[in-house]
Structure 1
Amino acid sequence: MCGLPMRKNGLTAKGTQRWKCTACSLSSTMPQERAARGRQLDAFLGWLLGRASQSACDANGDARALRKRTAWCWNIRPVIPPPTVRHHTVMADGTYMNHDWCLIVAIDGESGEVLGFQWCEHESKAAYMALFSRIPAPDVLVTDGLRGAETACHETWPATRIQRCLVHVQRNTRTDLTSKPRLEAGGELKRLSDRLTKVHDAGQAARWGEALNAWHLRWKDFVNERTLAKADPANPKAARQEWWWTHQEVRRCYRRLEKLFREGKLFAFLEPSLTAGGPVARTTNRLEGGVNSPLKHVLLDHHGLPEKHMRRACEWVCYMKSRDPDPASLIRPEQWKTTRPAGPSGDGDSGGPVYGTGIDWNEFHTHTPWKSGD
């Protein structure tokens, strides 16, 4: 065997499960030892991904015995095979698990199955490109609008359209204008932004664009007002620039909405040429609720894990949400040796761990040494 994942391949004449290597096509039966390891892995995942206690997951109610029997399971690194079929829509977003590491996940926009994940320090262009390069180019990418994701999409999937998550657009508007804008122009613009998620057809989208243009015609002079540094010397900006936009937040909000509408990123989900291949989501809610939320919960349910185990738990969440997950096929005899966790510093080697992506961790992650008492 070559050590790659194995798939079930029927039964022998005695009814024993036969396994086939996905790479070299050699088959074998699972010995009793491996069958026992498979049951231990099931118990381990039942505790790790569920809400039950360790004692509840053990047949005899012995939490310590469960930990001892399943300690080797931390050695398994779940790997999601790169997709071979093209998906109509893909959602991608990053969620921060700690102060210095982030997990970017890509899912099918319709089914919600996880297509791949990428560890990184922050949501950079390089991290997104490493993930996108393993996935066939979709028709549409639904994203929250970070520059790294969109730039990586343009370079890796040049023909793919981008649909900006409308909920994130509304959040950006609230960040600029607050929930209750003080200025009349800001209030009108926020109400216009709030209408984004109420647009359901091409006619409503056209009227929304007309309303945005009408707003600009009315408030054009207002958003173009400037403040000279000599007129407001007490302002901190006066020390480094000669003038600035008086209503910078309102201006920035309008320019963002206008640019997204002009580039076709607000209402791509309504274009017939794209919907002909299937529905296009207008938000990343499926990713936020289907993957990012469980990732957060698994860490909350098992707070106190070493950083290495925290990452492994997140990888298992993603793997079990991929197409046809088969944890038993990942078991290898060399994993059965129990190793002590390396603590918050990771795997303990100088080269940095690789987590199910084929990418060197040091490409995207600057390691922060762990200190006692931090």
Structure 2
Amino acid sequence: MPEIRPRCPLCTGEMKKNGKRNARTRWRCKNTTCGISEQTHRPDITAKRHFTYFHNHVTGIYPITECARLMKVSTRTVYRYFEPLWLIEIPNNPDKHRIHDQIFIDGTYTAAGCLLIASTPDHVLCWHWCKQETTHSYTQLLSKLAAPLCVVLDGGQGAQAAIKKLWPNTLIQRCLIHA
């Protein structure tokens, strides 16, 4: 496999290896009048490394201080590395054609807003972020799913109205814990 050599950013001439620095290959332009020197950057490898540590932190394997120690940077730098990773969109594509016997819907309030969740006894089907538990918010959540036989909910008026609008033949059961 031929080696991939970078081109000079100044004169676009060929470059040759010129030692290593911080375990990365340095390159120098072969053109004697140019002679520019640089290191190639692999942002994909850096991003993969940051995501691996982020995943280990989020899943509880490493605290932030341990991530900083292993990455050999300060905790403030780790926070800066992790900041864009919090914004990664998690896939939320339920099978619209699968009919479930029973689903549970409820809202959970966090500092970021309200998270509406539709689930079965086994797993989460879909979710929707909103400001409040309103009919519109529940309509956004439930429109991603096929009509189930029964829906268990906490008794909120927004959820009942959305179910009656989207799924008129679905039975509604109030959760015993919320009653």
CA distance in structure 1 between the partners assigned to 2:136 and 2:129 by the alignment: 11
Classify 1:126/1:36 alpha carbon distance in 2 versus 1 (closer, same or farther; 3 Å).
same
| Pair 1:154 & 2:167 matched | no
* Structure 1 equivalent of residue 8 of structure 2: none
Deviation at 1:82, TM superposition (A): 3.0
* More RCO (CA 8 Å, sep 6+): 1
What runs of 5+ residues in structure 1 fail to find an aligned partner?
1-31, 170-374
* Structure 2 equivalent of residue 79 of structure 1: 91
TM-score (norm. length: structure 1) = 0.33
* Structure 2 equivalent of residue 136 of structure 1: 146
Q: Normalized per residue, which structure has more helix?
A: 1
Deviation at 1:160, TM superposition (A): 1.4
Q: Percent identity?
A: 30
Q: How does 1:217-366 map to 2 (within 5 A)?
A: none
Deviation at 1:47, TM superposition (A): 1.9
Classify 1:92/1:35 alpha carbon distance in 2 versus 1 (closer, same or farther; 3 Å).
farther
Deviation at 1:69, TM superposition (A): 3.2
SS at match of 1:130: helix
| Pair 1:145 & 2:158 matched | no
Q: Normalized per residue, which structure has more strand?
A: 2
Deviation at 1:133, TM superposition (A): 0.5
* Structure 1 equivalent of residue 78 of structure 2: 66
* Structure 1 equivalent of residue 108 of structure 2: 95
The alignment yields a C-alpha RMSD, in angstroms, of 2.5
Counting matched residue pairs gives 135
CA distance in structure 1 between the partners assigned to 2:47 and 2:71 by the alignment: 17
Contact 1:92 1:106 in 2 (8 A): yes
Deviation at 1:134, TM superposition (A): 0.8
Deviation at 1:118, TM superposition (A): 1.8
CA distance in structure 1 between the partners assigned to 2:90 and 2:119 by the alignment: 16
What runs of 5+ residues in structure 2 fail to find an aligned partner?
1-41
CA distance in structure 1 between the partners assigned to 2:83 and 2:157 by the alignment: 41
2:109 counterpart letter in structure 1? Y
Classify 1:166/1:52 alpha carbon distance in 2 versus 1 (closer, same or farther; 3 Å).
same
Classify 1:102/1:51 alpha carbon distance in 2 versus 1 (closer, same or farther; 3 Å).
farther
Contact 1:128 1:149 in 2 (8 A): yes
Classify 1:121/1:68 alpha carbon distance in 2 versus 1 (closer, same or farther; 3 Å).
closer
CA distance in structure 2 between the partners assigned to 1:57 and 1:125 by the alignment: 43
User: In the alignment, which of 126, 129, 137 is matched to residue 119 of structure 1?
Assistant: 129
Q: Deviations over 1:97-133 (max 9, x none)?
A: 24x932211112x20x222222222211111011100
Runs (4+) of structure 1 exceeding 4 A deviation are none
CA distance in structure 2 between the partners assigned to 1:87 and 1:61 by the alignment: 49
* Structure 2 equivalent of residue 334 of structure 1: none
2:175 counterpart letter in structure 1? C
Deviation at 1:71, TM superposition (A): 3.2
CA distance in structure 2 between the partners assigned to 1:114 and 1:36 by the alignment: 32
Q: How does 1:17-28 map to 2 (within 5 A)?
A: none
TM-score (norm. length: structure 2) = 0.64
CA distance in structure 1 between the partners assigned to 2:44 and 2:147 by the alignment: 38
1:152 counterpart letter in structure 2? A
| Pair 1:44 & 2:31 matched | no
Classify 1:127/1:72 alpha carbon distance in 2 versus 1 (closer, same or farther; 3 Å).
closer
Deviation at 1:49, TM superposition (A): 4.2
Contact 1:55 1:61 in 2 (8 A): no
User: In the alignment, which of 60, 63, 77 is matched to residue 53 of structure 1?
Assistant: 63
CA distance in structure 1 between the partners assigned to 2:49 and 2:101 by the alignment: 37
CA distance in structure 1 between the partners assigned to 2:175 and 2:107 by the alignment: 14
Classify 1:69/1:147 alpha carbon distance in 2 versus 1 (closer, same or farther; 3 Å).
closer
1:79 counterpart letter in structure 2? P
Deviation at 1:166, TM superposition (A): 0.8
Classify 1:127/1:50 alpha carbon distance in 2 versus 1 (closer, same or farther; 3 Å).
same
Contact 1:87 1:139 in 2 (8 A): yes
* Structure 1 equivalent of residue 174 of structure 2: 164
Q: Deviations over 1:203-245 (max 9, x none)?
A: xxxxxxxxxxxxxxxxxxxxxxxxxxxxxxxxxxxxxxxxxxx
